[in-house]
């Protein structure tokens, strides 16, 4: 990771929100040599010490544990024209993230210790934030034989998944859960029955009928979630459901959790912000898998976030070049970028009284940290701090042309937004700042 000098900072009068500590209070935060030294309502600092630090008035700002995005496609190795570890992590810190978990559907696939180590080494040299590699469940994402899960774990993988593709073979999924359990890794399920999705291009329903586009029924997602919940119960392995998009999925996960199945789940901002009606203009920027669903689904996702069925909000940042996206709807690639647009959309949930500020922050800090088993997601640490300062009131029109990401496939370009990351500290030094000195 590229590192500046660990800093000495005094943040005055910010709203410090650390869900893991149950903290939500106005306070001063002293960071000394990159580490949180003190958090108190009013800190008295000697004149000599003040001379050695940067003092900043954070009135009206939130000071929170650095945000974690547990579902990102960094595209390196292999598709560096879409994104690299360097550009993707720059986009992350600009969006307020201090850590990203990167999916294994690279070229080559991250199904070996060699690729995992490559990603970690590149991240160490060129990354602007922490990178948490996720290994493949199956070799080459072919869904046929298991990758060496133990080796992936030893090399630094934090989870396994075949994200982008479902594991259609139930026996292989069972074995993956059993092996992952031995290594205490969560298995992340890309829940899709590809027989049911059957080459569909968007959600199956009224809008797909009107547009004459082949639909993907909600059942394609729900059938697989039901299967994976049953298998997780059998294997007693931690199962994490990626990019939940339907009301039925939320219901299945809620019921399983009540039964004690060790399941966690995430959704993405587009699933609680947009519906399939966005596709009326046939703009491929709205094409994503799983697809945008209906207003009923959006409401169910919000309820799932509110009652805790959905533990995390991840972006599923999926960069694609103009070549793959700006083409006929049928042939356009699935996916949208999200690292630099997620935060204001998450804050919309707070403004709509769906989540408290602390609940919203938990979904992008301590909850993903707990699921991935990484020591991040809180300000209470002796290590150099990872921290985000948020300006919740900042209003602006989102301009994807200004993004750090290499790709521009952002469905929220031109949208009025409220809330922005003001400063991102990674390992105790400034990785991104919008504060002009």
Active site residues: 316
From the CB of 103, what's the least distance to ligand DOR, in Å?
7
Please give the C-alpha separations between residue 345 and each of 268, 349, 392, in angstroms, as whole numbers. Answer: 10, 7, 11
State the nearest-atom distance from the C-beta of 137 to ligand DOR, in Å: 14
User: CB of residue 308 vs ligand DOR: minimum separation in angstroms?
Assistant: 24
Nearest to 149 by CA among 117, 174, 185, 173: 185
396 contact partners, CB below 8 Å, separation of at least 6: 416, 417, 420
Shorter beta-carbon distance to ligand DOR: residue 8 or 116: 116
| Closer residue to ligand DOR (CB): 18 or 193 | 193
Q: Which is nearer to ligand DOR, 292 or 345 (CB)?
A: 292
* Minimum distance from residue 318 beta carbon to ligand DOR (Å): 4
Of positions 105, 203, 309, 424, contacts ligand DOR by CB under 6 A: 105
Under the criterion CB under 6 A, does residue 288 sit at the interface with ligand DOR? yes
What is the per-residue burial (b if ≥16 Cβ within 10 Å, else e) of 120-154?
A: bebbeebbbbbbbbbbbbbeebebeebbebebbbe
Instruction: Report how far residue 189's alpha carbon sits from residue 198's, in angstroms, rounded to the nearest whole number.
Output: 19
Residue number, 101 or 425, with CB nearest to ligand DOR: 101
Q: Find the binder of ligand DOR among 229, 253, 318, 342 (CB under 6 A).
A: 318
**Least distance between ligand DOR and beta carbon 111 (Å):** 15
**According to CB under 6 A, which residues from 67 to 96 bind ligand DOR?**
73
- Please report, as residue ranges, which positions from 259 to 278 form the binding site for ligand DOR (by CB under 6 A): none
Break the chain down into helix, strand, coil percent, rounded to 5: 35, 25, 40
Site string for ligand DOR, 219-258 (x = CB under 6 A): ----------------------------------------
Nearer to ligand DOR, 12 or 73 (CB): 73
CA atoms of 202 and 210, how far apart (whole Å): 12
Whether the CB-CB separation of 71 and 266 falls below 8 Å is answered with yes
**Rounded Cα–Cα distance for residues 18 and 357 (Å):** 10
Size of the site for ligand DOR (CB under 6 A): 10
For residue 110, give the 3-state DSSP assignment: coil
Residue of minimal Cβ distance to ligand DOR: 335
What's the first-to-final CA gap in the chain, in angstroms? Answer: 24
Strands annotated E in 198-344 = 202-203, 215-216, 239-241, 263-267, 312-313
Q: Closest distance between ligand DOR and the C-beta of residue 320, in Å?
A: 6
Residues 184-223 that bind ligand DOR (CB under 6 A): 190
Kindly tell me which of 13 and 275 has the beta carbon lying closer to ligand DOR: 275
Nearest to 286 by CA among 333, 248, 321: 333
| 128-to-386, 388, 427 alpha-carbon distances in Å | 12, 14, 10
Of 20 and 336, CB closest to ligand DOR? 336
All residues at 6 or more sequence positions from 216 whose CB lies less than 8 Å from its CB, including other chains? 196, 197, 198, 200, 201, 202, 203, 204, 289, 290, 291
Q: Closest separation between CB of residue 228 and ligand DOR, Å?
A: 15
Question: What is the enclosing helix (H) or strand (E) of 341?
Answer: none
* Selected binder of ligand DOR within 18, 83, 111, 163 (CB under 6 A): 163
Q: What CA–CA distance (Å, rounded) separates 63 from 291?
A: 34
Among residue numbers 325 through 344, which ones bind ligand DOR (CB under 6 A)?
A: 334-335
Binding residues for ligand DOR restricted to 124-153, rule: CB under 6 A: none
CA distances from 301 to 86, 198, 400 (A): 32, 24, 26
Residue 192 CB coordination number (10 Å): 23
What is the chain's Cα-based Rg? 21
Separation of alpha carbons 14 and 75, rounded Å: 36
Residue 190 Cβ vs ligand DOR, minimum distance, rounded to whole Å: 6
Site for ligand DOR, rule CB under 6 A: 73, 105, 163-164, 190, 288-289, 318, 334-335
């Amino acid at each position: 990771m590229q590192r500046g000098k660990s800093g000495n900072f005094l943040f005055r009068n910010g709203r410090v929100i650390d869900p893991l500590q149950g903290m939500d209070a106005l306070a001063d935060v002293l960071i000394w040599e990159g580490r949180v030294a003190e958090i108190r309502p009013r800190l008295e600092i000697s004149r000599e010490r003040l001379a050695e630090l940067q003092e900043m008035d954070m009135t009206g700002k939130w000071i929170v544990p650095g945000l974690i995005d547990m579902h990102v496609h960094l595209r390196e190795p292999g598709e560096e024209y879409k994104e690299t570890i360097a550009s993707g992590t720059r986009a992350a810190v600009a969006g307020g993230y201090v850590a990203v978990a990167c999916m294994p559907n690279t070229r080559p696939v991250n199904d070996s210790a060699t690729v995992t180590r490559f990603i970690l080494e590149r991240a160490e040299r060129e990354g602007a934030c922490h990178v948490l590699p996720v290994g493949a469940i199956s070799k080459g994402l072919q869904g046929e034989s298991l990758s060496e899960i133990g080796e992936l774990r030893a090399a630094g993988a934090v989870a396994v998944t075949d994200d982008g593709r479902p594991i259609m073979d139930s026996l292989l999924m069972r074995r993956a859960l059993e092996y992952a359990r031995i290594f205490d890794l969560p298995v992340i399920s890309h829940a899709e029955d590809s027989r049911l999705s059957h080459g569909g291009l968007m959600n199956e329903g009224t809008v797909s009928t009107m547009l004459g586009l082949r639909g993907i029924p909600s059942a394609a997602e729900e059938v697989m979630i039901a299967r994976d919940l049953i298998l997780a119960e059998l294997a007693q392995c931690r199962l994490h459901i990626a990019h939940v998009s339907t009301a039925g999925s939320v219901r299945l996960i809620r019921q399983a959790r009540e039964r004690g199945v060790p399941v966690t789940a995430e959704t993405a901002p587009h699933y609680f912000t947009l519906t399939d009606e966005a596709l009326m203009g046939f703009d491929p920027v709205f094409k994503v898998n799983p697809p945008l669903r209906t207003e009923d689904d959006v409401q169910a996702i919000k309820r799932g976030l509110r009652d805790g069925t959905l533990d995390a909000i991840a972006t599923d940042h999926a960069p694609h070049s103009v070549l793959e996206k700006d083409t006929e709807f049928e042939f356009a690639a699935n996916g949208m970028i999200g690292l630099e647009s997620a935060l204001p959309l998450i804050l919309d949930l707070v403004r709509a009284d769906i989540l408290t500020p602390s609940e919203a922050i938990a979904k992008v800090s301590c909850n993903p940290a707990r699921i991935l088993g990484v020591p991040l997601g809180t300000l209470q640490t002796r290590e150099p701090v990872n921290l985000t300062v948020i300006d919740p009131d900042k209003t602006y029109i989102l301009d994807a042309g200004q993004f750090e990401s290499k790709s521009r496939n952002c469905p929220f370009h031109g949208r009025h937004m409220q809330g922005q990351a003001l400063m991102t500290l990674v390992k105790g030094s400034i990785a991104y700042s919008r504060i002009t000195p």
